[in-house]
Amino acid sequence: MGDVRDNGGCSPLPGFEATMTLAPSAVSATSSSHDTRPDDLVRWGVVGTGRIARRFAQGLAHVPHARIHASWSRRAAPTQAFADGFGGEPCASFDALLASGIDALYIATVQDSHAGYAIAALQAGLHVLCEKPATINREQLERVIEAARVNDRLFMEAMKPPFYPLYRKLRAHLVADPIGTVGLVRAGCSVPGVPDDHPSLSFEHAGGALLDIGIYEMFLAVDWLGDVREVQTLGRLGKTGVDTFASLNSQHEQGIAQLFCGLDLHGKGDALLMAGAGHVTIHEPWWNPSRATIRYADGRVVELDEPFEGGGLNYETAHFCELIRTGQKESPLMPHSKSLQMIAMADAARQALGLKFAGE
Ligand SMILES: NC(=O)c1ccc[n+]([C@@H]2O[C@H](COP(=O)([O-])OP(=O)(O)OC[C@H]3O[C@@H](n4cnc5c(N)ncnc54)[C@H](OP(=O)(O)O)[C@@H]3O)[C@@H](O)[C@H]2O)c1
């Protein structure tokens, strides 16, 4: 995966504009990548330098012993601006990024390119944290997971909610003071007003509400209800060819999920988990959770309030770094099996809507 701008490595390129302001916490992360460092330092490479890559980099300032070592995206100016803002070397090609001395690659490009970058990085001996959706379909994800297995590297989909303090506190609370087995998950989010040229609406880049937003809800369903058995879907495609609204009912090992995701109606949602002895509301936006209310059938009400720091992506990143340090190849909180179940749900929903992407 070379690039016409390849100058043979990762170094400042002439003519790049620096457009980003240095955050005080990011400044310390911009020192030379070749200085003395503790053995447990995780050196990150970043492919794609857009919105989520910046949020990842801001969060990294809250992760101990981790820093940006190098970055690359196809356009030179944003690559340089990212390096100016968050540290590390701007690379001139993806191959140069892989060879830059990084330990792990964070994939922050649009989703049609995730599988290719993930497989190449795993084959290069790197650990991979890949933005959601990990791939655009199950067949691609199986190939990525196989590459992780063959190369004995860590791969994880960057599905942020389970790593937030609130989500972990909720899990622990329900073990100590249970509501019973969750049998219904209801969750949804719909964000209108997305410009037609946004990647979320791009057919070429495999956008659409299901892969952009619905994948979070599919995570919630699989996380609380187990493996999926059946998915029923209603929805619509918009003028760019991708789904702009979908409503799913899915049957899982332990119960039923009612999910919606959209790019044309306004409905930022909370999430509901129902069990025999109580129910939980994870307040909106449940995918960046900080508050939950547990109502027990005996009348007790428990409020959980766990603010998050660093923008929220830092928790999954810290977890990933710890997995590297302890030699683990799969996350116990976000294992491959969950990603496979989630993308299988998305595949089934897209099939029901008649939405196929290039090459499918
Ligand atoms: N976890 C979350 O909270 C969250 C939130 C938003 C988005 N996301 C996910 O993050 C990913 C990126 O979303 P975004 O909002 O950051 O998009 P974005 O702002 O459009 O940024 C995408 C970046 O990827 C680069 N890029 C695109 N295609 C590429 C390719 N083939 N090779 C190399 N670089 C490429 C673009 O720069 P060049 O054009 O210069 O290459 C740009 O820097 C998506 O998968 C999205 O679903 C996650």
Distance separating alpha carbons of residues 140 and 5, to the nearest angstrom: 28
Same domain, 111 and 186: no
Same domain, 235 and 185: yes
Distance separating alpha carbons of residues 13 and 20, to the nearest angstrom: 16
Same domain, 155 and 179: no
Mean pLDDT in the chain?
A: 91
Would you say residue 140 lies in a domain? Answer: yes
Would you say residue 36 lies in a domain? Answer: yes
Distance separating alpha carbons of residues 100 and 83, to the nearest angstrom: 14
Distance separating alpha carbons of residues 123 and 126, to the nearest angstrom: 7
**Residue in 46, 74, 320 to alter for ligand 1 test, most ligand atoms within 8 A of Cβ:** 74
Pair type for strands 184-190 and 278-282: unpaired
Same domain, 219 and 208: yes
pLDDT at 255: 98
Distance 147 CA to ligand 1 centre (A): 22
In this predicted structure, the answer to whether residue 46 has a pLDDT above a threshold of 90 is yes
Q: Which of 82, 46, 44, 47 is nearest to 65 (CA)?
A: 44
Distance 50 CA to ligand 1 centre (A): 5
Enter the tokens of residue 314: 């830092």
Answer yes or no: are the C-beta atoms of 160 and 314 closer than 8 Å: no
Nearest-CA residue for ligand 1 atom 42 is 50
Nearest-CA residue for ligand 1 atom 44 is 110
Q: Which of 261, 202, 256 is nearest to 234 (CA)?
A: 261
Distance 114 CA to ligand 1 centre (A): 10
Distance separating alpha carbons of residues 151 and 148, to the nearest angstrom: 5
pLDDT average, residue stretch 324-345: 98
Same domain, 39 and 80: yes
Would you say residue 321 lies in a domain? Answer: no
Q: What is the CATH number of the domain that holds 146?
A: 3.40.50.720
In this predicted structure, the answer to whether residue 3 has a pLDDT above a threshold of 60 is no
Asked which of 160, 184, 216 is the last residue of a domain, the reply is 160
Residue 114 Cα: closest atom of ligand 1: 45
Nearest-CA residue for ligand 1 atom 29 is 109
In this predicted structure, the answer to whether residue 27 has a pLDDT above a threshold of 60 is no
Interval 73-108: pLDDT, tens: 999 999 999 999 999 999 999 999 999 999 999 999
Same domain, 200 and 343: yes
Would you say residue 113 lies in a domain? Answer: yes
**Residue in 80, 110, 204 to alter for ligand 1 test, most ligand atoms within 8 A of Cβ:** 110
In this predicted structure, the answer to whether residue 15 has a pLDDT above a threshold of 50 is no
pLDDT at 181: 98
For residue 153, what are the domain limits? 24-160
The number of C-alpha atoms within 13 Å of 275 and in the hemisphere containing its C-beta is: 20
In this predicted structure, the answer to whether residue 126 has a pLDDT above a threshold of 90 is yes
Distance 82 CA to ligand 1 centre (A): 13
pLDDT at 11: 56
Distance 218 CA to ligand 1 centre (A): 21
Distance 23 CA to ligand 1 centre (A): 21
Asked which of 143, 160, 177 is the last residue of a domain, the reply is 160
Same domain, 208 and 172: yes
pLDDT average, residue stretch 58-83: 97
Would you say residue 19 lies in a domain? Answer: no
Interval 213-269: pLDDT, tens: 999 999 999 999 999 999 999 999 999 999 999 999 999 999 999 999 999 999 988
Would you say residue 42 lies in a domain? Answer: yes
Distance 73 CA to ligand 1 centre (A): 9
Q: What is the CATH number of the domain that holds 217?
A: 3.30.360.10
Distance separating alpha carbons of residues 325 and 318, to the nearest angstrom: 11
Same domain, 155 and 220: no
Same domain, 180 and 271: yes
Nearest-CA residue for ligand 1 atom 31 is 113
Answering whether pTM is above 0.85, one says yes
Pocket residues: Cβ below 6 A from ligand 1: 47-53, 73-75, 78, 108-111, 113, 131-132, 158, 160, 199, 212
Same domain, 176 and 112: no
Interval 258-285: pLDDT, tens: 999 999 999 988 999 999 999 999 999 9
Would you say residue 326 lies in a domain? Answer: no
Q: Which of 220, 196, 201 is nearest to 211 (CA)?
A: 201
Same domain, 338 and 278: yes
Answer yes or no: are the C-beta atoms of 133 and 346 closer than 8 Å: yes
Residue 79 Cα: closest atom of ligand 1: 40
Which residues does 124 contact at the CB level (< 8 Å), separation at least 6? 98, 99
Would you say residue 141 lies in a domain? Answer: yes
Asked which of 142, 160, 178 is the last residue of a domain, the reply is 160
pLDDT average, residue stretch 58-84: 97
In this predicted structure, the answer to whether residue 51 has a pLDDT above a threshold of 70 is yes
In this predicted structure, the answer to whether residue 63 has a pLDDT above a threshold of 70 is yes
Distance 37 CA to ligand 1 centre (A): 30
Number of domains into which the chain is organized: 2
9 confidence band (pLDDT: 50, 70, 90): low
203 confidence band (pLDDT: 50, 70, 90): very high
Distance 17 CA to ligand 1 centre (A): 20
In this predicted structure, the answer to whether residue 12 has a pLDDT above a threshold of 90 is no
Same domain, 200 and 65: no
In this predicted structure, the answer to whether residue 4 has a pLDDT above a threshold of 70 is no
Q: Which of 207, 327, 186 is nearest to 263 (CA)?
A: 207
